[in-house]
Structure 1
Amino acid sequence: MSRYTITVTGKGRSDPDAIIGYDPPLRTLFLQAFPHEVTDDPALWLGTRDREYETVDALRAAALARGFDFMPLPAALAAKLIEDKAAAAGWAPRDGRLAEFLKRLNLSD
């Protein structure tokens, strides 16, 4: 499971210690933000079901629907999330269309 720290904003507050990542067993991107006041769970937790969010855009749309945002992600982090998903799926992240995308971001080897 990959985990990267980002800032999530919304509803008049900000969480600079929010987590975005990829969960291989669930095959989904996830987002966790804002410590819950009573439990150990995050108050905002997206990506808890199988293949729930297969793209960053889908994850962002779900966050926006709940009044939160985390964009823009740095290009290097967006690429890393794609690579994490590719590695978990067992395909080379630097081949084909993904390689072209990374070249446009100037992140390829």
Structure 2
Amino acid sequence: MSRYTITVTGTVTGKGHSDPDAVIGYDPPLRTYFLQAFPHQETDEPRLWLGTRDRAFEALDDLRHAAISHGYDFMPLSPKLAAKLVGDKAAASALPERDDFLGQLLKHLNQSK
């Protein structure tokens, strides 16, 4: 799993705020990009957590549009970071598909959507 620090901004509470320690990355087992931001001070669970299901966001643009639809946005990714994320996905795509119990469960869950 790749993890890179970025800044996410949000206006969910009615006033602008930002999280300069937000995390974006690629999750190979779920085959999705993900975004986590604004951790709760006590539980550490992020207020924004996108990319928690199989193939939720197969493109970075899809992830950004989802963040915007939830009242958040992230700063434009540098070409270097965008290339790293695309490379992380490409490297993970070269791995064989999981054919164990977890792989079959994920396939079943995707088919039932």
Query: Could you say which TM-score interval applies, normalised by the shorter chain?
Result: 0.7 to 0.9
Structure with the greater alpha carbon radius of gyration? 2
The CA deviation string for residues 23-66 of structure 1, in whole angstroms up to 9 with x for no partner, is: 00000000000012442211100000000000110000000001
1:2 aligns with 2:6: no
Q: Conserved in 1, the CA contact under 8 Å of 2:8 and 2:20?
A: yes
Partner Cα separation in structure 2 for residue 62 and residue 45 of structure 1: 11
2:22 and 2:35 in contact (8 A); partners too: yes
Q: Secondary structure at the match of 1:29?
A: strand
Q: Does 1:70 pair with 2:98?
A: no
Normalised TM-score (structure 2) = 0.77
When the two structures are superposed, what TM-score results if normalisation uses the length of structure 1?
A: 0.80
After superposing on structure 2, the runs of 4+ consecutive aligned residues of structure 1 that deviate more than 4 Å are none
Comparing both chains, which one has the higher relative contact order based on Cα–Cα distances under 8 Å and sequence gaps of 6 or more? Answer: 2
- The answer to whether structure 1 residue 52 and structure 2 residue 56 are counterparts is yes
**Percent of aligned positions that are identical:** 71
SS of match in other structure, 2:88? helix
2:67 and 2:42 mapped to 1: Cα distance? 22
Q: What is the root-mean-square deviation in Å for CA atoms of aligned residues? A: 1.2
Whole-angstrom distance in 1 between the partners of 2:75 and 2:29: 25
Q: Distance in 1 between matches of 2:60 and 2:38?
A: 19
Q: Runs of 5+ in structure 1 lacking a partner?
A: 92-109
Query: Unaligned stretches of 5+ in structure 2?
Result: 96-113
